[in-house]
Amino acid sequence: MIHDLAVIGGGPAGVAGALTAALAGLRVVLLDGGPRLGGQYFRHAHGAEPEPRFARQSHALRRRAEVLLKHQVWAVSREDDAFTVHAHGAMHGHGTARAEVRARRVLIATGAHDRPLPFPGWDLPGVLTAGGAQALLKGERVLAGRRIAVAGTGPFLLPVAAGLAGAGAEVAGVFEASGGLGLGRHPIMALGKAGEAAGYAWALAARRVPYRRNHAVIAAHGEHELRAVTVARLDRDWNVLGTEELECDALAVGYGFVPQIELAVQLGCLTRPDTDGTPVVDVDARQRTSVPGVWAAGEPTGVGGWELSETEGRVAGLAIAAAGEVPGLLLRRRARLRAFAAALQGAYPVRPGWQSWLAQDTLICRCEEVPLARVREAQELGATDARSIKLLARPGMGWCQGRMCGYALACLAGEPQQPPRRPIAQPISLGALAEPPQKEH
């Protein structure tokens, strides 16, 4: 069977896009690697109801479209007038198998992943990304530790710290590397988020959690697991002005997000650098990519929060179904949310001083255990860009394929981050790859 539309990703963007297109009469299939719809923002534990509005949307979607959960999409190919979505997915009660889905159009709504920066000890058990600590809590009801430090940059640190504190962890401090006013520089834009931010600030203040700007965790200590971190006071460029040690058994750290655009790059969609230089999928006013038949919505087109993702999903759904003009109200809402996203990225940039936190033996790539010294050696041998460093020293060649170290490596090479070229978008075993597809939807 050929569907009218295959949507990849079941977060706010994918669900809104799929439901809008299904309501307009299209035969829609949605695939997501996770066990439940919701993506990152509406992630919820097994048995728990998601936020009511999203619950209504996802129930409506399940009635009108085919929803394939636990299906990791590792490639999308094109033959003549249709696309084949290649996934590795759960069979009903029979383990996993390769699956193929055919559709005339594709909507890529694959969200983003955390952007970590390396520092001495970041490979110790107990050090997690901020999104990882949040996902453990929201999806599994598990606290990452008893006494947790939260560090990095951006407003995302606040819900993470408030969530951990609310669930009973002792939050030893929130360390925001950026200084200045943050979004306070854009009071009108920040207005819409003021209530949310005040809620987090109140939750943290009520539990006497210290919130310190111009501070970062620059080293993690412990023999077999995390025991303490070094917290540094920073100047404007994130160079260290002074340090102190803080005991904790977990650290949640994040420096923004990286859009997941592998599938769009595989298909040949054009990309552009976002406000902060991160490659994102280039789309037109109707969320169309440069490749006919392929749309993108949500964080692959730029990180901007769940409301922007959902709005883009709805615009894409209407455009794909060719359901008349996209309402002006929706387009104005998208423009306002995009302006807010750009202001947010401008308010929390990653400053170059983080490179001074590294020692020669600090691992840059944890999968292949490549320390800074090997990266520098490759540069001395003549490697002038991230790709040649990778060929000489192997950073980014391991299991995560550079998702964790790609940004840092680009910074160390002194070049903008390049769009990820991964012919297999998600890790999949060679055995699974060699199997013939077991089911076709």
Ligand X SMILES: Cc1cc2nc3c(=O)[nH]c(=O)nc-3n(C[C@H](O)[C@H](O)[C@H](O)COP(=O)(O)OP(=O)(O)OC[C@H]3O[C@@H](n4cnc5c(N)ncnc54)[C@H](O)[C@@H]3O)c2cc1C
Positions touching ligand X (CB under 6 A) are 8-14, 31-34, 39-41, 72-73, 109-114, 131, 134-135, 159, 257, 260, 298-299, 305-306, 309, 425-426
CB of 132 to ligand X, least distance (A): 7
Quote the tokens at residue 245.
Answer: 């040690």
Q: Which is nearer to ligand X, 300 or 396 (CB)?
A: 300
C-alpha dist (Å) from residue 360 to 52, 355, 357, 365, 385: 50, 11, 10, 13, 19
Pairing type for strands 228-234 and 71-79 reads unpaired
CB of 10 to ligand X, least distance (A): 5
d(CA 417, CA 433): 29
d(CA 121, CA 123): 5
CB of 269 to ligand X, least distance (A): 15
Contact 172, 149 (CB under 8 A): yes
Coil, helix or strand for 335?
Answer: helix
Q: Which is nearer to ligand X, 34 or 317 (CB)?
A: 34
CB of 259 to ligand X, least distance (A): 8
d(CA 348, CA 155): 8
CB of 247 to ligand X, least distance (A): 26
Q: Which is nearer to ligand X, 134 or 287 (CB)?
A: 134
- CA quadruple 354, 357, 361, 363: dihedral sign: negative
Q: Which is nearer to ligand X, 305 or 395 (CB)?
A: 305
Q: Which is nearer to ligand X, 96 or 260 (CB)?
A: 260
String of DSSP letters for 393-408: H-TT-STTTTTTTHHH
Q: Which is nearer to ligand X, 50 or 298 (CB)?
A: 298
Q: Tell me how many degrees the CA angle 304-130-420 measures, rounded to the nearest 5.
A: 60
Name the amino acid, one letter, at 366: R
CB of 304 to ligand X, least distance (A): 7
